[in-house]
Structure 1
Amino acid sequence: MLRIFALGVALTAGSAAVARADQLADIKARGTLVCGTLGTAEPFSFQDPKTREIVGYDIDMCRKVADGLGVKLEVKPMAVEARIPELLQGRVDILAANLGWSPERAQQIDYSYSYFVSQQKVMVAADAGITTLDQLAGKKISALKGSSSEQGVRRVIPTAETVTFQDPSSAFLAVAQGKVDGFCASELILVKLRKQAEASSPMAIVEKSVFVEPWGLGIRKGETAFKDQVDKTLTALDASGEAGRIFATWFGPATAYGMKLDFKIEEIKG
């Protein structure tokens, strides 16, 4: 009986492994890549006011992956805290959703090669007199619920009280209204919000980063063939210069950010 039970377990495990390994084939057979994204984080993924479609850097990257597979792209918006559960439950095939690498997340999912590197900083009121991270000890700091920014504040400024919100606008408004002392997020998000509010609510950004994180596309563990294909597509974008052109579209000199590409698409080594 024990031998029969052991054989049954082995067969079940083998079947599960085959199912996991079939995701690439399943996507191609379906003809659609379902990409989970936030849809509220400009310029990564947000609703175009004219077309009402979700556009942005994350969307362009996911579309390139779909093109590489020869399938259509389907975008599925979701909340920050729902990203990994939606992926693990099979409701999306891949995540392009401001997904910073962390040891904890890397135990749950696999990451593609990095396609963005984020400086996580804190925005404060310009007249608050806060210029260093040390001055935020014991203060209230807002962040997106379930984000690496939230985790970073808890790790780097453990005495601060972290107040979480569902979207960047609400987290920023808490600073503008004096309900919190700072807002931790990607520097890009902070730069855009500071520019938008410079007339009504002058803001400053603390120079030192709370932490620096590489972002990758999220993939379920065990999907080796799918991950290899995604990494191959990203590497080709980098080599051809297409990755740089996509970056310039959303972050370059003609945008509110005026940034230059200063990172390579490469394996995230932790």
Structure 2
Amino acid sequence: MYIIEGVIGVPKKVGILSIFLMFLLAAGLTGCGQQTAKPAETPKAKVLKVGSETTFAPFEFQDEKSKEYVGFDMDLIRAIGKEMGVEVQIQSMGFDGLIPALEAGNIDVAISGMTITAERAKKVDFSTPYYKSGLSMVVKVDNDTLKTFKDLEGKRIAVQIGTTGAMEAKKIKDATIREFNNAPEAFMELKAGGVDAVVNDLPVNEYYIAQAGGKDAKVVGEPLTSEEYGIAISKKNTETTEKVNKAIEALKKNGEYERIYMKWFGKKPPQ
């Protein structure tokens, strides 16, 4: 038998190895006890990707000073996002690219003064209507010959591509239709004398007249159509459609929808 540092009956090499391993084990346990747990990762906020053609004042346009997207639609979709508990991210794109972007899954919803039509409803779903509109015509302030849509036969008409205004203008007999990417371009063409009239949604036309002080153009005639705007959503995303509809309903009940409406149109929304 061997006696090694008070250990009886253990061979020298085996005893030293065992003691060394015990020290290593103890050190390892001590190290584990000193490690601090990593903080849990903060879950990322849910995002609602919103597509909009942002030159359609007063519904959506870019503020010159802040460069933020503002307007009735922008305030409304942010309020809807708040109700849904999601972060709203606005993506500016051409109006005719909104539905393809929804179908491709590049955006979740589109809000851009989009009229609910049977043709569009074949491709996307719509929320409950949130605004009532109609088509009207704008002519130069000194034009007293164009008073109704019937008078536009054989005339030059400016429209925004992909809109219901463009669709209706193309039905006018012998009219020459010039399509532009956005409403401001159409109004500029009217001011320059390149067209006889602009056909677009009534609130957009009225806003342009108000901003211009009525110096260049005027709205004439009765609205051609009665239309309703809706938020477009992919047919694959029925859950989002349900949540958006619930949010709109909540905003109408708690008075927030009316507040936003009065902010941009100076009157209460129609019942």
Instruction: Please indicate, yes or no, whether the TM-score normalized by the shorter chain is above 0.5.
Output: yes
Q: Provide the residue aligned with 1:67 in structure 2.
A: 82
Distance in 1, Cα, partners of 2:76 & 2:56: 15
Q: Which amino acid is 1:131 matched to?
A: K
- Higher relative CO (Cα under 8 Å, sequence separation at least 6) belongs to 1
The answer to whether the 8 Å contact 2:55/2:184 transfers is no
Task: Give the one of 174, 189, 199 matched to 1:184.
Answer: 199
Alignment of 1:74-223 (within 5 A): 74-128=89-143, 129-155=145-171, 157-198=172-213, 200-201=215-216, 203-223=217-237
1:222, CA displacement in angstroms?
A: 3.5
Q: Distance in 2 between matches of 1:173 and 1:141?
A: 12
- 1:106 Cα shift? 0.7
Alignment check: 8 A CA contact 1:141 1:161 kept: yes
Q: Secondary structure at the match of 1:114?
A: coil
Residue 255 of structure 1 corresponds to which residue in structure 2? none
Deviation at 1:52, TM superposition (A): 1.1
The alignment's C-alpha RMSD in Å is: 1.8
Contact kept, 8 Å, 1:145 with 1:165, in 2: the verdict is yes
Classify the secondary structure of the residue corresponding to 1:64.
helix
Q: Deviations over 1:71-104 (max 9, x none)?
A: 1111101111111111111110000111111111
In 2, distance between residues paired with 1:118 and 1:197? 21
**Equivalent residue, structure 2, for 1:34:** 49
Q: TM-score, normalised by structure 1?
A: 0.79
- In the alignment, residue 258 of structure 2 is paired with which amino acid? G
Q: Is the 8 A contact 1:121 1:184 kept in 2?
A: yes
**5+ residue gaps in structure 1?**
1-27, 253-258, 264-270
Sequence identity (%) = 29
Distance 1:242 1:236 in 2: 9
How many pairs were matched up? 228
TM-score w.r.t. the length of structure 2 is 0.79
How far did residue 210 of structure 1 move? 2.0
CA contact (8 A) 1:153 1:210 kept: no
The separation in 1 between residues aligned to 2:227 and 2:49, in whole angstroms, is 25
